Amino acid sequence: MLRWKYSRPLLGLLLLVLAIAPLFTNNPLGKPGLQQTMAVAFVWGALALTYDLLFGFTGLLSFGHALYFATGVYVSCILINHDVVSWWLAALIAIAVSAILAFLVGSASLRTTGITFAMVTLAFGEAGHVIVNRNFFNLTGGENGIALNADNVPQIWIGVFNTKNIYWLALAALVFTYAVIWWVTESSAGKVFSALRDNEQRVQVLGLNTQHFKLLAFVISAALAAMLGFVMLIAAGSAAPRFAESGVTIALLLMVVIGGAVTRWGAVLGGIFYSFASTRMQDLTQQESFKSIPKWIGGPIAEPALLLGLIFILIVMFSPGGLSGAYYRLRLKALTNKSS
């Protein structure tokens, strides 16, 4: 894979700019509205990266990843609201519960392969959605979800004036997730993940237990997803059944494909782009000028999923490697022209 020698310094500079921008009110990121939008986008970007560990790096097409994200949201919210433990311990417990759940689900699901594996994970994910939607043990709030008790979390995350703190929390979660995924994928276990994606039989010939490595990727991605679920709880202020819907996992798949699988920054870029574009499209449809557009045009445009789906189709057709793939092709072309 092509690497630009200035990529890391530029990445550090970008993170620095993103971190200090909310301190100045004379730029867009100094406004609470955009800070909230970007905080949610950062969470989705990091969540797409956890899914890329499964799909892009290990070759596991799971349709139940939302289950672990929702576990992080609901378990932490329930523990915080009932004042069982402090907020930080609630987050750690949610991560542990999600990891254990992923171990159990993964142990069962990984007995299958291919489309069967995808359908089994989908079944487990749908089971989780049914549980939270039916107000399990009168804890999940059913279709209405449950609002976070603001008195039991640090007040630096409560109120419009503290939106920048939520922004920083989400940015820190994204950086932490990226660092963990980078460490995992660059480790010896990460090399095995890539080998499993390319040719599982060769890994078996080497005498390695492929199931153990698949399960390891499954649990790591679930634990990180649960952590991001806690951050989403702080950003959204509530736990809702929509976080457990299978559509969340489908959206993650689209994010990874749009950004480019097997590239960490591509998955993050795809997630941020998808989340930001969805939000801005929804805001656009609420404006008065939009109502003057004929319904046969405005109707389809009013559905962000349609436009994002069209973008997905165009990327698959004309840029199979996603946004990151297009970048690397341009880099290769530039280097080829320079050498010639």
Between 66 and 282, where is the model more confident?
66
- Which of residues 201 and 319 earns the better pLDDT score? 201
CA distance 60 to 70: 20
Residue 296 has pLDDT above 80, yes or no: no
Residue 277: the pLDDT is: 83
Each residue's pLDDT tens digit, 323-337 = 787 777 777 777 777
Specify the long-range contacts of residues 327-334, CB closer than 8 Å, at least 24 apart: 328/1, 328/2, 331/2, 331/4, 332/2
Q: How confident is the model at residue 288 (pLDDT cuts 50, 70, 90)?
A: low
Render 2-44 in DSSP notation, one character per residue. Answer: ---TTHHHHHHHHHHHHHHGGG-TTSGGGSHHHHHHHHHHHHH
> 35-39, 62-66, 291-295, 336-340 — which is least confidently predicted?
291-295
Could you read off the pLDDT of 175-224 as tens digits, one per residue?
A: 999 999 999 999 999 999 999 998 888 888 888 899 999 999 999 999 99
What's residue 41's pLDDT? 96
pLDDT at 119: 95
Task: Tell me what pLDDT residue 27 has.
Answer: 85
Average pLDDT over residues 285-307: 63
pLDDT band at 25 (very low <50, low <70, confident <90, very high): confident
Instruction: Give SS3 for 163.
Output: helix
Percentage of the chain lying above the pLDDT 90 cut: 60
Q: How far apart (Å, rounded) are the C-alpha atoms in residues 70 and 90?
A: 14
User: pLDDT value at position 236?
Assistant: 94
Residues 272, 42 contacting (CB under 8 angstroms): yes
Structure tokens at 257: 């494909």
Predicted local confidence at residue 285, as pLDDT: 63
- Residue 13: predicted pLDDT: 85
**Domain regions of the chain by residue span:** 31-339
pLDDT digits (tens, 9 = 90+) for 94-132: 999 999 999 999 999 999 988 999 999 999 999 999 999
- Quote the pLDDT of residue 218: 96
CA distances from 40 to 132, 170, 199, 270 (A): 22, 7, 36, 13
As a whole number, the mean pLDDT across the chain is: 88
Per-residue model confidence (pLDDT) at position 317: 80
Can you tell me whether residue 97 is helix, strand or coil? Answer: helix
What pLDDT score does 227 carry?
98
User: Domain spanning 31-339 has what CATH number?
Assistant: 1.10.3470
313 has a pLDDT exceeding 90: no
Answer whether residue 4 shows pLDDT above 60.
Answer: no
| Backbone dihedral angles phi then psi of residue 287, each to the nearest 5 degrees | -75, 150
What lies within 8 Å, CB to CB, of 58 at 6+ separation is 193, 194, 196, 197, 213, 214, 217
Task: List helix spans (H) across 145-199.
Answer: 163-186, 188-198
pLDDT at 299: 61
Question: Of 300 and 312, which is predicted with more confidence?
Answer: 312
pLDDT digits (tens, 9 = 90+) for 46-77: 999 999 999 999 999 999 999 999 999 999 99
Res 20 pLDDT > 60: yes
SS3 content of the chain, % helix, strand, coil (to 5): 80, 0, 20
